[in-house]
């Protein structure tokens, strides 16, 4: 079994419901971070996001986890119209222990996770060993709003 982490976010429609449903569908999850509300970074003007991180103990590869991410997004009827635009559900593979991937559609560890407090703060709840030297780049407020 391998430790892995997925980042989930939603800022369109019933944000909390989309996140709850997605988390419930991740069968190999072992922990879920607190829920955080954050202002969007980049992209068009849009509503705030709800974000969290899920820890898994899994036999899936990073590529298989990407497939799971796409399934969860499809189930939430995510539409990809504008890069970094509003979305019902965004799911990213953040980290897979012992695995590095650098392909056009998948980079693991996630290439921008250390730039995003909304990823690193909830990740730090679950895996403090992965955020030891991280410094918040100050790209927006991250508000802990409790458990999912």
What is Dmax (Cα atoms) for the chain? 41
Exactly one of 45, 78, 83, 129 is catalytic; which is it?
Answer: 78
Is residue 80 annotated as part of the catalytic site, yes or no?
Answer: no
3-state secondary structure of 38: strand
Exactly one of 28, 39, 90, 97 is catalytic; which is it?
Answer: 90
DSSP-assigned beta bridge partners for residue 38: 49, 142
Is residue 29 annotated as part of the catalytic site, yes or no?
Answer: no
Is residue 78 annotated as part of the catalytic site, yes or no?
Answer: yes
Is residue 87 annotated as part of the catalytic site, yes or no?
Answer: yes
Exactly one of 3, 87, 133, 136 is catalytic; which is it?
Answer: 87
Give the CA distances from residue 121 to residues 14, 16, 67, 102, 144, in Å, rounded to whole numbers and listed in that order: 23, 19, 25, 24, 9
Exactly one of 21, 47, 92, 136 is catalytic; which is it?
Answer: 92
Task: Tell me the catalytic residues.
Answer: 78, 87, 90, 92
């Amino acid at each position: 079994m391998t430790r892995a982490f997925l980042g989930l976010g939603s800022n369109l429609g019933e944000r909390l419901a989309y996140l709850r449903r997605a988390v419930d569908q991740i069968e190999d999850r072992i922990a879920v971070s607190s829920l955080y509300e954050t202002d969007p970074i980049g992209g068009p003007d849009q509503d705030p996001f709800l974000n969290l991180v899920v820890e898994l103990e899994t036999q899936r590869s990073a590529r298989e986890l990407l497939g799971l991410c796409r399934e969860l997004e499809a189930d939430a009827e995510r539409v990809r119209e504008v890069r970094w635009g509003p979305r019902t559900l965004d799911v990213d593979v953040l980290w897979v222990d012992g695995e590095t991937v650098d392909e056009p559609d998948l980079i693991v560890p996630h290439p921008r996770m250390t730039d995003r407090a909304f990823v690193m703060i909830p990740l730090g709840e679950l895996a403090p060993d992965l955020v030891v030297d991280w410094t918040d780049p100050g790209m927006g407020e991250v508000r802990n709003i409790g458990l999912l």
